């Protein structure tokens, strides 16, 4: 009798998982086999074999012995059953109109949000992928310490190509120029003009509508314009061969017409002028410089190098080596930036405007998913809460012979009907909202329903929603035991209630996090806008000295000074928002190692300090009385710190900037001349001797008259050029455009998430109130007040929302801190922001519940108790 026994836990496992109708003989057989192999091979081997045998008779390996009694089950997919499912589903939708409305409204709004966001995400990700060799194109960028820039030197494209066989082609693009164009009567300033090498059309795949792509940019007297521009000037897109006058001094022929720049291209241009034209006046091109970084260089690599990160790494090192062989001593690292990364992964200085941000793409993608989840939760909640209504149906179906899988199939099918119905409505909503969304995002988003990929992803969303929202109700409803259900009233199990509560909490966690997010985004934007920039940005008008104004400095200054409206002016070399020149060739007294920090410079005149209302910390500003000021420098605080000076000893120090010897005459308090996303950089102010932009400080309320006065001056001195002007504070605000967009989109979706949550809450509260009709009736008869009843009904929900606040706070705190880290100057994330968001969520939720709870509390108890 002392037979060896295998471990007990395996038997438990076996009994638990093995099919019931064969467990007896299998267990016996296994024991017998175990005893047999213990005899033959010893205990360890026997045990191993036994375990292996056990595994082979567990699902999914084991074959089930068919039961003795076999019912003839109707096939779930037979037409009759399908018809029945549809009929029942439709009846349920129609019978419970309010409930169906809530469900479909929630789901379709959620889906619409997701579709909109996904459209935007897709658009962001599609940038520059339309070029046929997009994955072989790279932009040469460089970095000197923390200063990363998108530009490189004019000689590099050709020089590198000659020495490195991996580089198949290179095209240089100039910075963006703003020129005056004139054809016939039409005379306008074009702001998106680029000079490009003649192989521009070979490297990039911008389609040419008319003209010869091979010769288009070879003739320095012929330019390319886009279709839109052609229509603007010539009224027709067939403009090839026509003549256009640029800057009132030179005529060009139109060599060809390009299709309008695709909106998902980081290069946005209206006119392309051959680089040879620029070579006439640009010294950088004439000498093929390796020292001045003024061009965007795009390189086409051979496919092998382009595909391998290590090969590219090697290439950048070779580029740096060749760069030094050209006599450059500066320590600069080069990078090859993939063309398709430029839009989303670029945070370079002196770059083309209009970049996106990968972080925002990720954030919005997550938000889209969460909104969909919130909508699905609604469906799950309402479906399980109202399960009682369908319990009898489930019971009856089971009695008649339905098995669980059929029921799961049926309920999942119903949720699919809901989700596809919602999809149709969602597409309608998307069509309606698209114009508004386009305005918000400033993106030309379109929805092409016949596009297979889009259709597939829409279907995907619907299927996902159907599965997500239908799975729990399907599993839950199909699990009812028919005896219990049919016997009488079934109490909803506590576990189900807990699950439902968890879902409500999840919904509100999402809503509160989004609310906090919106609040923080706005707070940060406000912080940036209100931050003291170090100079007074309001009422600063600027007038670029275009055309003849540049040559008439004295006349311009004289006429500005005559008018009291414009007399408060200063001529500076560049707008602070567009400051692009700088050098690391800075030598100062007591310097120990060669300078590696880029010092930008700005040329200002004697009025600068007065007009900008900048603060002088030491020394003085430029003054007419001092004739030696032309070799004087003003520096900002940051520059002073880098040079190791202080307020007391800085003035009078010698400074060699860009090979020009001079003395520091003053220190100006740091002012922000770049987006607040960057920390303050050192700045050298030089005396302006040539012109640039005229800045005019107007007095509040006189802006319009000042503009008129300026227009008059422009007309007198510069009749050939149209009058252009701008406000500096508006330009500064534009620097935060993407943050502002993010704020408003965030706002929209946070609002919608809360709305969807409230729809669900409304449904739940209606259900709760209905369930407790009798209880409320009895309470009222016994003397409960309306307020008491409302409180009773709201209390449960209030608890859930409090839990949600507790969970959401740390999540929101962490997420928003992460976002703020991207800013150098950040607002503080205070506790009251989260408290406010929580309070707001609570308020909205209570308001939603109040509809139903007050209605329930006001019902006459006679009515609710009558039916007993």
Binding residues (CB under 8 A) for another protein: these are 3, 22, 24-33, 36, 52-53, 55-57, 61-66
Closer to another protein by Cβ: residue 55 or 287? 55
Q: How far is the CB of 58 from another protein (least distance, A)?
A: 8
Closer to another protein by Cβ: residue 64 or 654? 64
Q: How far is the CB of 404 from another protein (least distance, A)?
A: 23
Q: How far is the CB of 75 from another protein (least distance, A)?
A: 20
Helix (H, G, I), strand (E, B) or coil at 613: coil
Closer to another protein by Cβ: residue 64 or 304? 64
Closer to another protein by Cβ: residue 65 or 730? 65
Q: How far is the CB of 23 from another protein (least distance, A)?
A: 9
Q: How far is the CB of 36 from another protein (least distance, A)?
A: 7
Closer to another protein by Cβ: residue 64 or 531? 64
Examine residue 60 and say whether the peptide bond preceding it is cis (omega within 30 degrees of 0): yes
Closer to another protein by Cβ: residue 65 or 855? 65
How far, in Å, CA of 650 to CA of 29, rounded?
Answer: 97
Helices (H), 57-147: 79-95, 97-125
Closer to another protein by Cβ: residue 34 or 127? 34
Strands 186-196 and 271-274, how do they pair? parallel
Structure tokens at 712: 């008059």
Q: How far is the CB of 14 from another protein (least distance, A)?
A: 11
Closer to another protein by Cβ: residue 41 or 835? 41
665, 712 contact by CB (below 8 A): no
Q: How far is the CB of 28 from another protein (least distance, A)?
A: 4
Q: Euclidean distance between the first and final Cα of the chain, in Å?
A: 67
Q: CB pairs under 8 A, 24+ apart, for 551-555?
A: 552/717, 552/718, 553/690, 553/691, 555/717
Q: How many CA atoms lie within 13 A of 618 on its CB side?
A: 17
398, 482 contact by CB (below 8 A): yes
Phi first, then psi, for residue 93 (nearest 5°) are: -65, -45
442, 740 contact by CB (below 8 A): no
Sign, CA torsion 584/585/586/592? positive
CA 245 to chain centre: 41
Closer to another protein by Cβ: residue 62 or 82? 62
Q: How far is the CB of 24 from another protein (least distance, A)?
A: 5
Helices (H), 134-261: 156-163, 200-203, 227-234
Structure tokens at 448: 């092409």
Q: How far is the CB of 57 from another protein (least distance, A)?
A: 5
Distance set, CA 15 to CA 10, 12, 47, 203 (Å) = 9, 5, 18, 70
Closer to another protein by Cβ: residue 16 or 832? 16
197, 161 contact by CB (below 8 A): no
DSSP per-residue string spanning 450-512: T-HHHHHHHHHHHHHHHHHHHHHHHHHHHT--HHHHHHSPPPPPHHHHHHHHHHHHHHHHHHH
Q: How far is the CB of 25 from another protein (least distance, A)?
A: 4
CA 801 to chain centre: 29
Q: How far is the CB of 401 from another protein (least distance, A)?
A: 23
DSSP per-residue string spanning 713-746: HHHHH-TTS----EEHHHHHHHTTHHHHHHHHHH
Contacts (Cβ under 8 Å, ≥6 apart) of 172? 154, 157, 196, 197, 275, 295, 296, 297, 298
Which helix (H) or strand (E) element contains residue 167?
strand 167-173
Closer to another protein by Cβ: residue 22 or 263? 22
Q: How far is the CB of 76 from another protein (least distance, A)?
A: 23
Q: How far is the CB of 78 from another protein (least distance, A)?
A: 24
Closer to another protein by Cβ: residue 41 or 214? 41
Q: How far is the CB of 403 from another protein (least distance, A)?
A: 20
Closer to another protein by Cβ: residue 33 or 330? 33
Q: What angle do CA 178, 180, 186 make, to 5 degrees?
A: 135
Q: What angle do CA 682, 685, 686 make, to 5 degrees?
A: 145
Helix (H, G, I), strand (E, B) or coil at 533: coil
Q: How far is the CB of 35 from another protein (least distance, A)?
A: 9
Q: How far is the CB of 490 from another protein (least distance, A)?
A: 39
Q: How far is the CB of 399 from another protein (least distance, A)?
A: 29
Which helix (H) or strand (E) element contains residue 352?
none
479, 398 contact by CB (below 8 A): no
Structure tokens at 574: 């560049």
How far, in Å, CA of 420 to CA of 87, rounded?
Answer: 16
Count of CB atoms within 10 A of residue 543's CB? 25
Closer to another protein by Cβ: residue 29 or 451? 29
Contacts (Cβ under 8 Å, ≥6 apart) of 393? 88
Closer to another protein by Cβ: residue 35 or 447? 35
Closer to another protein by Cβ: residue 45 or 818? 45
Count of CB atoms within 10 A of residue 41's CB? 13
Closer to another protein by Cβ: residue 52 or 94? 52
Closer to another protein by Cβ: residue 33 or 492? 33
Which helix (H) or strand (E) element contains residue 170?
strand 167-173
Distance set, CA 254 to CA 178, 237, 246, 258 (Å) = 18, 11, 12, 11
Q: How far is the CB of 385 from another protein (least distance, A)?
A: 44
């Amino acid at each position: 009798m002392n037979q060896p026994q295998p471990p007990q836990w395996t038997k438990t496992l076996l009994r638990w998982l093995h099919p019931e109708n064969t467990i007896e003989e299998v267990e016996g057989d296994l024991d017998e086999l175990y005893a047999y192999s213990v005899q033959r091979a010893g205990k360890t081997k026997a045990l191993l074999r036994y375990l292996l045998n056990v595994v082979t008779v567990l699902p999914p390996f084991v074959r089930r012995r068919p039961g003795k009694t076999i019912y003839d089950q109707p096939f779930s997919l037979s037409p009759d059953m399908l018809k029945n499912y549809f009929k029942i589903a439709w009846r349920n939708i129609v019978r419970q109109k309010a409930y169906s409305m809530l469900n479909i409204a929630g789901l379709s709004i959620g889906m619409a949000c997701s579709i909109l966001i996904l459209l935007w995400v897709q658009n962001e990700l599609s940038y520059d992928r339309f070029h046929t060799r997009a994955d072989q194109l790279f932009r040469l960028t460089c970095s000197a310490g923390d200063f990363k820039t998108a530009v490189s030197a004019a000689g590099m494209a050709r020089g590198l190509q000659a020495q490195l066989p991996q580089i198949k082609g290179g095209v240089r693009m100039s910075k963006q120029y703003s020129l005056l164009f004139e054809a016939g009567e039409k005379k306008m300033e074009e702001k998106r003009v680029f000079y490009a090498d003649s192989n521009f059309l070979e490297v990039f795949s911008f389609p040419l509508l008319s003209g010869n792509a091979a010769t288009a940019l070879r003739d320095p007297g012929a330019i390319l314009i886009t279709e839109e521009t052609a229509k603007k000037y010539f009224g027709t897109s067939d403009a090839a061969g026509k003549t256009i006058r640029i800057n009132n001094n030179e005529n060009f022929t139109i060599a060809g017409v390009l299709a309008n720049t695709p909106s998902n291209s980081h290069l946005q241009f209206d006119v392309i002028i051959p680089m040879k034209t620029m070579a006439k006046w640009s010294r950088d091109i004439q000498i093929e410089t390796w020292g001045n970084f003024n061009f965007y260089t795009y390189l086409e690599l051979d496919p092998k190098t382009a595909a391998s990160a290590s090969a590219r790494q090697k290439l950048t090192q070779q580029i740096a080596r060749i760069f030094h062989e050209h006599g450059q001593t500066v320590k600069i690292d080069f990078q090859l930036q993939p063309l398709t990364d430029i839009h989303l992964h670029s945070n370079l200085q002196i770059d083309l405007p209009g970049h996106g941000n990968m972080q925002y793409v990720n954030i919005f993608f997550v938000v889209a998913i969460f909104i969909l989840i919130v909508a699905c939760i609604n469906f799950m909640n309402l479906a399980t809460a109202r399960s009682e209504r369908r319990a009898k149906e489930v019971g009856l179906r089971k009695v008649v012979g339905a098995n669980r899988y059929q029921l799961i199939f049926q309920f999942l099918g119903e949720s699919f009907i809901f989700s596809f119905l919602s999809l149709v409505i969602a597409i309608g909503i998307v069509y309606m909202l698209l114009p508004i969304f386009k305005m918000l995002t400033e993106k030309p988003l379109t929805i092409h329903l016949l596009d297979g990929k889009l259709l597939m992803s829409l279907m995907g969303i619907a299927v996902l929603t159907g599965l997500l929202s239908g799975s729990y109700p399907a599993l839950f409803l199909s699990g009812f035991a028919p005896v219990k259900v049919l016997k009488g009233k079934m109490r909803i199990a506590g576990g189900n209630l807990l699950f439902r509560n968890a879902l409500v909490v999840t919904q509100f966690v999402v809503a509160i996090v989004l609310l906090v997010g919106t609040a923080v985004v706005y707070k940060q934007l406000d912080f940036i806008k209100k931050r003291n920039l170090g100079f007074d940005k309001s009422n600063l008008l600027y007038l670029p000295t275009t055309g003849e104004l540049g040559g008439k400095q004295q006349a311009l200054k004289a006429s500005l000074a005559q008018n009291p409206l414009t007399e408060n002016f200063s001529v500076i070399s560049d707008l602070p928002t567009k400051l692009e020149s700088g050098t690391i060739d800075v030598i100062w007294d007591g310097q120990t190692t060669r300078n590696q920090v880029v010092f930008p410079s700005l040329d200002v005149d004697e009025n600068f300090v007065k007009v900008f209302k900048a603060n002088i910390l030491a020394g003085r500003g430029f003054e007419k009385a001092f004739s030696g000021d032309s070799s004087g420098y003003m520096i900002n605080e940051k520059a002073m710190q880098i040079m190791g000076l202080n307020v007391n000893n800085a003035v009078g120090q010698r400074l060699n900037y860009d090979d020009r010897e001079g003395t520091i005459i003053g220190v100006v308090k740091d002012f922000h001349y770049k987006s607040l996303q960057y920390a303050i950089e050192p700045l050298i102010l030089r005396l302006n001797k040539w012109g640039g932009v005229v800045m005019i400080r107007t007095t509040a309320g006189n802006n319009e008259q000042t503009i008129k006065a300026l227009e008059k001056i422009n007309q007198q001195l510069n009749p050939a050029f149209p009058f252009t002007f701008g406000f500096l504070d508006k330009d500064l605000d534009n620097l935060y455009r993407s943050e502002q967009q993010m704020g408003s989109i965030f706002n929209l979706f946070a609002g919608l998430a809360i709305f969807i949550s409230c729809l669900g809450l409304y449904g739940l509260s209606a259900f709760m109130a209905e369930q407790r009709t009798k209880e409320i009736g009895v309470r009222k008869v016994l003397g409960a007040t309306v307020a008491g009843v409302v409180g009773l009904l709201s209390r449960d929900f209030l608890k859930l929302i409090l839990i949600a606040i507790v969970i959401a706070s740390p999540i929101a705190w962490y997420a928003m801190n992460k976002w703020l880290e991207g800013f150098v100057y950040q607002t503080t994330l205070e506790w009251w922001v989260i408290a406010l968001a929580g309070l707001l969520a609570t308020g909205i939720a209570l308001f939603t519940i109040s509809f139903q709870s007050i209605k329930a509390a006001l019902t006459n108890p006679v009515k609710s108790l009558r039916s007993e």
